[in-house]
A and B are shown apart, each in its own frame.
Chain A
């Protein structure tokens, strides 16, 4: 496409911007289910056309830096729609729905010259296809990010840190521990230690089926980090199989305190804080309830 023809397209769009905008808006109206405020959509379309014009002057390669503005704009729209739950088609429709109004316009302008019309229509198609696909890619990445965030939230929810008593936290781990989960767990525990001012944290792994070297290392790192902050960790709930694995793997637990059960770990934690559980001489009387 020669420079002379290039500028004709953007010229065409510039001269007919109002009409093109109106037609384009109408196309989208019928296709998009969700309610985007008319005013917002109009703004988005107007901005897109302006950016398109500027970039169109430089050619058709949308990967070039001159098209950064257009891509950035489309990425923003796609991201917002992706997060709002729009489908990929609904998001791409923003770009694709521009085709019919644009081709109609091109036919009006270049109708007399069949070859020119064919060329320009083809170029416009290539361009809008590329941009439409780009929005789909961004949309997909955004959905992936949303899912990742939700996974993260689920991770945090599934590793609750419990306040057992003054200064004693318990973290019952359930399920397989992979690298990323263990990191989330670690950060969550350390944060809770600061927030609650607990000096002892019991990490119970009764519910963890297997422990490999990596998991063991992560646990050790957690214990070390807690110590640097001024809290001690006790690892409890080590089943015989896990104990065997740890020995076989040659993992050095060093001075990490381990207990077979959460109960014994709790007892140790209490001792550390100069506390103990005692049996009272007579049944404790609660209001309205007689405890036998």
Chain B
């Protein structure tokens, strides 16, 4: 069955979503990711959505779920590369991604993860709209 590959980059996991996902694929990704976090003991997850042209409420919820579940497994999630049109649409939808951090690209995302794991009082960048 079609699966989205999860790459390991040191203590982080990297998922690159490139296809227009159908719901079942998204659910599978959720499962695979949580399993992998547990298996590898990864401390951070990077979800690269720079190729995603559509993010609807289902995918939004999936991302929020992954982030929440990762946190329970003691890993931070960063969503990277959201396209401007997608960001504008999500804001219009009123979809908030609570507790989900974001970064412009994978590199900045990793910086963010390393920073978050470093000093405690680091000024963290929260992407979510709190209202």
How many Å from the CB of A194 to the closest CB on chain B? Answer: 6
The one of A187, A229, A254 that contacts B131, using a Cβ cutoff of 8 Å: A254
Chain A residue contacts of B103, Cβ below 8 A: 230
A190-B85 Cα distance, complex, nearest whole Å:
9
On whether the beta carbons of B97 and A228 are closer than 8 Å, the reply is: yes
Q: A224 contacts B91, CB within 8 Å?
A: yes
Closest to B89 in A: A225
Number of A-B contacts (CB under 8 A): 69
Contact surface of B with A, Cβ cutoff 8 Å? 80-84, 87-88, 90-92, 97, 102-105, 108-109, 123, 125-131
Q: A254 to chain B: which residues have CB within 8 Å?
A: 129-131
Instruction: With a 10 A CB-CB cut-off, give which of A221, A224, A226, A232 has the most chain B CB atoms.
Output: A224
B130, A190: Cβ atoms closer than 8 Å: no
**Complex alpha-carbon distance, A255 and B124, angstroms:** 13
**Is the pair B104, A193 in contact by a Cβ cutoff of 8 Å?**
yes
Given contacts A187-B84, A224-B91, contact A230 B131 (CB under 8 A): no
Any B CB within 8 A of the CB of A227: yes
Nearest chain-A residue to B90 (Cβ)? A228
Considering the complex, give the chain A residue whose CB is closest to the CB of B88: A225
Known: A197-B104, A197-B105, A199-B108. A227 touches B128 (CB 8 A): yes
On chain B, the residues within 8 Å of A229 by CB distance are 81-84, 87, 102, 104, 127
Q: Which residues of B contact A252 (CB under 8 A)?
A: 131
CA distance A230 to B87 in the complex (A): 10
Pairwise interchain contact B131-A228, C-beta atoms closer than 8 A: no
In the docked arrangement, what's the CA distance between A186 and B84, Å?
9
Q: Which residue of A lies closest to B125 (CB)?
A: A232
- Give the residue name and chain of the A residue nearest to B101 (CB): A230
Known: A199-B108, A225-B91, A254-B131. A230 touches B84 (CB 8 A): no
Instruction: Return the 10 tightest CB-CB contacts between A and B, nearest first.
Output: A190-B84, A225-B87, A230-B103, A230-B102, A230-B104, A228-B87, A227-B127, A224-B129, A229-B82, A225-B91
Q: Say which residue of B88, B108, B129 sits within 8 Å of A230 (CB atoms).
A: B108
Q: Is the CB of A228 within 8 A of B82?
A: yes
Contacts of A232 in B (CB 8 A): 125
Please give, as numbers and ranges, the residues of chain B lying within 8 Å of A194 by CB-CB distance: 83-84, 104
| Listed A/B pairs (17) with beta-carbon separation below 8 Å | A194-B83, A197-B104, A199-B108, A224-B91, A225-B91, A226-B87, A227-B127, A227-B128, A227-B129, A228-B82, A229-B81, A229-B83, A230-B102, A230-B103, A230-B105, A230-B109, A254-B129
- Whether, in the assembled complex, A231 has its beta carbon less than 8 Å from a beta carbon of chain B, the answer is yes
Report the Cα distance A255→B126, complex, angstroms: 10
Q: Which of B90, B102, B126 has the most CB of A within 10 A?
A: B102
- CB within 8 Å of B: which A182-228 residues: 186-187, 190-191, 193-194, 197, 199, 221, 224-228
Q: Are B104 and A199 in contact (CB under 8 A)?
A: yes
| Cβ B88 vs Cβ A187 within 8 A | yes
Q: Which residues of B contact A221 (CB under 8 A)?
A: 88, 91-92
Contact A230 B80 (CB under 8 A): yes
- Closest residue of chain B to A183 (Cβ to Cβ) is B88
Residues 250-269 (chain A) with a chain B CB within 8 angstroms:
252, 254-255
**Residues on A with beta carbons closer than 8 Å to the beta carbon of B90:** 225, 228
Which partner residue on chain A sits nearest B92 by CB separation?
Answer: A221
| Residues B127 and A228 in contact, CB atoms below 8 Å apart | yes
Complex CA–CA separation, A100 to B108 (angstroms): 73
List chain B residues, Cβ under 8 A from A186. Answer: 88
Q: Please, which residues of chain B bring their CB within 8 A of the CB of A197?
A: 104-105, 108
Query: Which residue of chain A is the closest to B130 with respect to CB atoms?
Result: A254
Which chain A residue has the least Cβ–Cβ distance from B107? A197
Question: B87 contacts A190, CB within 8 Å?
Answer: yes
Q: Contacting B88 at CB < 8 Å: which of A190, A227, A255?
A: A190
For residue A163, give the distance in angstroms from its CB to the closest CB of chain B: 15
Roughly how many angstroms separate A291 CA and B87 CA in the complex, as a whole number?
Answer: 47
